[in-house]
Amino acid sequence: MRVALNGMGRIGRTVLRAWISGRWPGIEIVALNDIASAEDVAYLTEFDSVFGGFPGEIRLEPGCLVVAGRPLRLTREADLSKLDLSDIDLVMECTGRADTPEVASRGLRAGAGRVLISGPSEAAEFTVVLGANEQGLRADQKIISNASCTTNALAPLLRVLEETVGVDSGWMTTIHCYTGSQPTVDSPRGAPARSRAAALSMVPTTTSAGRLVDVVLPQIAGRVSCAAVRVPVASVSAIDLSFHPRHHGTAEEVNAILQSAGGVIGWTNKPLVSSDLRARPESVVMALPETVVTGGGIVRVFGWYDNEWGFSCRMLDVAALWEKAL
């Protein structure tokens, strides 16, 4: 499958870094597009403040970025539909701007076969979360969304819990690292709290995960509410979920369920901190020492997720799975 990355921001570049590991032999990234200069794309691909230096040589040649010996076509076009993508099977739409059908379909109008959006989008025909609803992928779908990083962490966990102990009602708070949507110094960003300097304060805010979980897991729609707190760390986030189960058990029994879940759900029994989870490929890594069952029967579980690396791995996983549906 020949893939083009549109948008070489945090997710676009992380997808490229994950792909170069060779874990997805059926995927061939052949083209990159961004509104930044070729020099900026090359520099930010080679040097990363979170993940370090790129694991391979990065250099520019006329019309392409050579990545670990692979020449990738490099273009600078704000409107993807103006490019010729007739040789592309899938566009990974990583600009964060594909909210409307007009923008989301630009890759199709350029000649590509399908579009996978790296975030929530009303333009998507289907919102997929691996480990939650991937059975809904179909060959006739042209534009799909990979949901959000937090939804990818939460939805597979909720599916496992619903199918075992049951989830009557719950509350999830994501403790989320700051992102490029927040300013480095106080500056208007819409919501007042989100306008404050990202690295100086904890910022109570919203998350799209609550709405998206209802879409991805309609069988538990309306049962779990969500909120977020943005915190001054650059990578790795967490979900803190408390819920009323239908079938009561001990913390040890809940942990046994989490350990046997498999798939995109990992676990650790070590007392880790967020920086220990950097570049973990799972959608969520459950911290078993944090599991608690209160005297009243409320269950609390806690999981880490690298909101960039884990999500980028799911982009590649979903692309490979979608290809099999054809």
Q: Are residues 98 and 203 in the same domain?
A: no
Residue 239 annotated in ligand binding = no
Residue 54: which residues within 8 A CB-CB, separation 6 or more? 17, 20, 45, 46, 47, 48, 67, 68
Q: Please report which confidence band the pLDDT of residue 326 belongs to, taking 50, 70 and 90 as the band edges.
A: confident
Q: Are residues 167 and 286 in the same domain?
A: yes
Note whether residue 143 is domain-resident. Answer: no
- Which residue range is the domain that position 26 belongs to? 2-124
Q: What distance in Å separates the CA atoms of residue 256 and residue 288, rounded to the nearest whole number? A: 9
Q: Please report which confidence band the pLDDT of residue 71 belongs to, taking 50, 70 and 90 as the band edges.
A: very high
Percentage of the chain exceeding pLDDT 70: 100
pLDDT in tens, 235-284: 999 999 999 999 999 999 999 999 999 999 999 999 999 999 999 999 99
- Compute the average pLDDT of residues 285-290: 98
| Residue 15 identity (one-letter amino acid) | V
Note whether residue 133 is domain-resident. Answer: no
Q: Are residues 78 and 19 in the same domain?
A: yes
- Compute the average pLDDT of residues 297-322: 98
pLDDT score for 133: 98
Residue 306 annotated in ligand binding = no
- Compute the average pLDDT of residues 81-90: 98
Residue 34 annotated in ligand binding = yes
Place of tokens 């609803």: 133
Q: Are residues 72 and 174 in the same domain?
A: no
Note whether residue 102 is domain-resident. Answer: yes
Q: Are residues 172 and 287 in the same domain?
A: yes
Residue 307 annotated in ligand binding = yes
pLDDT in tens, 145-198: 999 999 999 999 999 999 999 999 999 999 999 999 999 999 999 899 999 999
Q: Please give the backbone phi and psi of residue 170, each rounded to the nearest 5 degrees, phi first.
A: -165, 170
Residue 118 annotated in ligand binding = yes
Residue 35 has pLDDT above 90, yes or no: yes
- Whether the CB-CB separation of 26 and 1 falls below 8 Å is answered with yes
Q: Are residues 118 and 159 in the same domain?
A: no
Q: Model pTM?
A: 0.97
The catalytic residue positions are: 149
Average pLDDT value over all residues in the chain = 98
Note whether residue 50 is domain-resident. Answer: yes
At 117, which CATH number? Answer: 3.40.50.720
* DSSP string over 107-119: HHHTT-SEEEESS
pLDDT score for 174: 98
Q: What distance in Å separates the CA atoms of residue 180 and residue 112, rounded to the nearest whole number? A: 28
Helix (H) or strand (E) segment spanning residue 144: strand 143-145
Q: What distance in Å separates the CA atoms of residue 34 and residue 204, rounded to the nearest whole number? A: 32
